[in-house]
Structure 1
Amino acid sequence: MNKAPRKTIVLLASILLLQLLAAPFTFSQSTENIFVYGDALPDAPELSARGEFKIGVRTLDFVNKNQVDILKTKENANARYDRALKVEVWYPAALTAGQQEIVTYEEVMGTSNDPKRPLIPFTFKGRATRDAAPSTTSGTFPLIVVSHGYVGSRLLLTYLTENLASKGYVVVAIDHAESTFRDAAGFTSTLLNRSKDILFVLNQMADLGKPGSKNFLSGLLDANSIGLIGYSMGGYGVLNVAGAGYSEGFAKAFGGMSGGSNAIEVRTTRNAEYENSLDPRIKAVVAFAPWGMERGVWDTESLKGLKVPTFFVAGSQDDVSGYEKGIKAIYTGAVNAERYLLTYENARHNVAPNPPPAEALRPGLPFDEYYRYAEPAWDERRINNINQHFVTAFMGKYLKGKDLDKYLDLPKNSNEKTWTGFKARSSTGMQLLHEAAR
């Protein structure tokens, strides 16, 4: 019998090890005996555990009509188009006998406008039931709107969207047109449309939740209690929706990028249309690694417009959004908001997404397919569990009025004393700042 060369055996063993590291872990409590994104690791903090509700998931399609087509305004200053937005909705559900709380999500990696990063389809499992009947016995649930980064998708944070729905929220995540893996286009579209998409979807969901809408959401969601979650460019968007108008300097820079268009002025501080768009139903914001401060998106005056309680999450080595002059500067400057800043020491930008899929380990793929998800100094599953814990505490406090301050009012340095809700010796490598509104 022929024996494989030693180098071949070592290579095959290395590939197998990488696949095992990326593959689902197995724990006894897991449905179908698999470990799904967001499941609790042994050292997961207390509030990361899933809630009491079984959850359903549905895909909806919205169209925001007659919008500025900023990618064509250089050729035609009056270019308009209908903007199609696909969303995923997770909600408390009433499962029937035999229905399993398991779903297969279809995703791609790559970037449609980069020939060096072709689109590669893949699937992954989640803990939800596709098209399940909504719960009808527990009243209404606060609405949470989720916005991904550039590029990304509505499925980028399923570990968090599923977890929140299981705790009694209706959660909607947006595929932002011209900003997803599948349809990435010019960056000016993301700059202009991110906050506009969030507002549009928020209002569409609120309308569908009204009694008599004949939609499954009718009577299910409480549109008077709304939270926003954004990652990277999603953070850029949710902060603007919540009151941090873009600066006049940024509006001028945008005009230079878009052939002289002033379309973004309607999202700038002190603009009448912008001021009228601020929605008092928004009660809480979570901004993961929000992009823009280092590029002049906000200034001292525009940050003062943020008055909604906000929880920032950052990596101390973020080299995309910046830390000291980026995310932390937003936190410092938002003096009129009750605010928190959770920092993962030595993390870079990927403090929000799902872990890397197994497909990202294929030999020959661009390194960035893996580093779109992974962190160099942190286990992404660990970050996911910690995010679940703190977002649960923050949203529970501000959207549901729960007494969860013990999980939020903590010593600044996690290394000095184990934080409340964390297992002994497990709250290392983090910092949590907290400032009251001025």
Structure 2
Amino acid sequence: MIKKHLLESALTVILFLSSFTYILAQSPAKPFVYGDPLPDAPELAARGVYAVGVQTLDLINKNQLDILNYGKGIDSLYNRPLKVEVWYPAEAGSDKLISYDEVMGQNGSPNRPLVPFTFLGRATRDAKPAYSKGSFPLVIVSHGYTGSRYLMTYLTENLASKGYVVVAIDHTEATFKDAAGFQSTLLNRSLDDLFVLNEMARLGEQKDSFLNNLVDADNTALIGYSMGGYGAVNVAGAGYSPQAAQLFGSMAGGSTALKKRSMGNTEYEASIDPRIKVIVAFAPWGMQRGVWNAEGLAGIKIPSLFVAGSKDDISGYETGTKAIYEGAVNSERYLLTYIDARHNTAPNPPPAEALESGRPIDEYLRYADSVWDMRRINNINQHFVTAFLGFYLKDMKDYKAYLDVNANPEAKEWPGFKPRTTIGLEMDHKMAN
């Protein structure tokens, strides 16, 4: 009997040690960080050759229209603060893990109180820039309503590692922390983008700035998601329609201000900036609301990459993003479609806190898609944005093949994709008129 118990105990120990060894063998050597490649990630999703540095800047856009307080008997102008995060190529060295501070929820909503959380990235705070490699193209990243400058770190870090200076904006009155009236976003989104472009160009020439001789603002891409896409389309040359001003309702000051960003307005026409060479618009909002008409969309004359889910119930697909793509007749343009995905084709995956029991489902659905794995969407976005920017901003001619996935009808796979991994994806391409 004693021998039997000893044998059973020995077997139990062996089984435990075997299970423990198996767990250790399956545990990754390093934690999965947003943007890390999955086994089925396409080729260009991999990080580039540069280590990544990151710094935070506080900018002030002076004497801007205070649309949320317009007509309340107070000064209608204010100094508009904009916090931005800048990722950039750094001197050679391995990227350390960095912790970003973020919040879930929405300011002012009792049903969605702000909940602080942190998540990891791969960058080094205040790292020495790679000055010896010359200047790098600028990429401006604009989040949705609501969001933050940290909403797409999988992409911002990835692009910096490939030789871009990437600046992501906290759009005041449109972040999780300070969400306010939607009119501010309607009016300020494109203005914020242009102001940040000017500031990055100024800092690139300022001797005491870390950006001095590091950023090439004359070679800029603008990436926007949702309301960020709304702003990007306008900045690219698609002036708003007469109907767009009606979004302000009876707010005469706002309607007048928005008209300054409309087709036919001389101030708007003069603001179209030749330094912006391309745009990438993820699920751009506004087409279903009549923000653009045919004349406006025809004003886009730079290359464009549009990305959308075919079941987008926020910005729309057939009458939303795809309609913008079809209407941008003077732009060489691409449309990447995630079949059956909804609106969230751009954000990081949901944070662990969004998975906790009892948490409002909106916090999960702010980031997640109900059909697609967000980590896979992230990898595919990295691949195509890398190809698009590489070809148009860096003249990397070989990258065109990664975009023209339908060029060879007999090919079984898209260039850069592993076998059997393009299911659920569509890519359309149209030349400019």
**Match of residue 122, structure 2, among 118, 127, 144:** 127
CA contact (8 A) 2:52 2:95 kept: no
> 1:168-317 residue pairs with structure 2 within 5 A?
168-210=163-205, 212-256=206-250, 261-317=255-311
User: What is the alpha-carbon distance in structure 2 between the residues aligned to residue 122 and residue 334 of structure 1?
Assistant: 40
Q: Which moved more, 1:74-83 or 1:57-66?
A: 74-83
Aligned 1:131-150 pairs, distance under 5 A: 131-150=126-145
Distance 1:414 1:259 in 2: 53
- Structure 2 segments unaligned to the other structure (5+ residues): 1-25
- Structure 1 residue 377: deviation in Å? 0.5
TM-superposition CA deviations, 1:74-133 (whole Å, max 9, x none): 42486111100000000001157xx75221100000000211000000001100000111
State the match for 1:339 in structure 2. 333
* CA offsets 1:386-420 (integer angstroms, 9 cap, x no match): 00000000000111011111101112999983211
| Cα RMSD for the two superposed structures | 1.8
- Does 1:436 find its partner at 2:431? yes
Alignment of 1:343-354 (within 5 A): 343-354=337-348
The CA deviation at 1:280 is: 0.6
* Change beyond 3 A, Cα 1:222–1:259: closer
Per-residue displacement from partner, 1:207-266 (whole Å, max 9, x unpaired)?
1012x4310000001111100000000000011111111111112442535676411111
Tell me the alpha carbon deviations over residues 163-182 of structure 1, each in whole angstroms, 9 at most, x when there is no partner. Answer: 00000000000000000000
AA paired with 2:313?
D
Give the 3-state SS of the residue equivalent to 1:249 in structure 2.
helix
Q: How far apart in 1 are the matches of 2:74 and 2:265?
A: 21
Aligned length: 407
Runs of 4+ in 1 over 4 A off after TM superposition: 257-261, 412-416
CA 1:75–1:145 in 2, change beyond 3 Å: closer, same or farther? same
Amino acid at match of 2:338: Y
Pair 66,380 (structure 1): closer, same or farther in 2 beyond 3 Å: same
Identify the residue that residue 71 of structure 1 maps to in structure 2: 68
Instruction: Select the residue among 84, 90, 108 that pairs with 1:93.
Output: 90
Tell me, yes or no, if structure 1 residue 45 matches structure 2 residue 42.
yes
Secondary structure (helix, strand or coil) at the match of 2:270 reads helix
- Partner of 2:213, secondary structure, is coil
1:155 equivalent in structure 2: 150
3-state DSSP class of the match of 1:164?
Answer: helix
Matched residue SS, 1:340: strand
Q: Could you say what secondary structure the match of 1:57 adopts?
A: strand
Where do 5+ consecutive residues of structure 1 fail to align?
Answer: 1-24
Q: Structure 2: which amino acid aligns with 1:152? A: G
Output the CA distance in 1 between the equivalents of 2:259 and 2:417: 45
Identical counterparts, % of pairs: 63
> Does 1:427 find its partner at 2:422?
yes
User: Aligned pair 1:388/2:382, yes or no?
Assistant: yes
> In 1, are the aligned partners of 2:246 and 2:255 still within 8 Å (CA)?
no
Amino acid paired to 2:111: K
Deviations 1:343-400 (A, max 9, x none): 0000000000000000001111111000000001100000000000000000001110
Aligned residue type for 2:132:
T
Query: 1:320-340, CA deviations, whole angstroms, 9 ceiling, x for partnerless residues?
Result: 000000100000000000100
- The 8 Å contact of residues 188 and 257 in structure 1, kept in 2 or not, is answered as no
Residue equivalent to 1:409: 404
**CA distance in structure 1 between the aligned counterparts of 2:324 and 2:97, rounded to whole angstroms:** 39
Determine which structure has more spread, i.e. the larger CA radius of gyration: 2
| 1:377 match: secondary structure | coil
**C-alpha spacing 1:377/1:302, structure 2 compared with 1 (3 Å):** same
Alignment-mate amino acid for residue 383 of structure 2: H
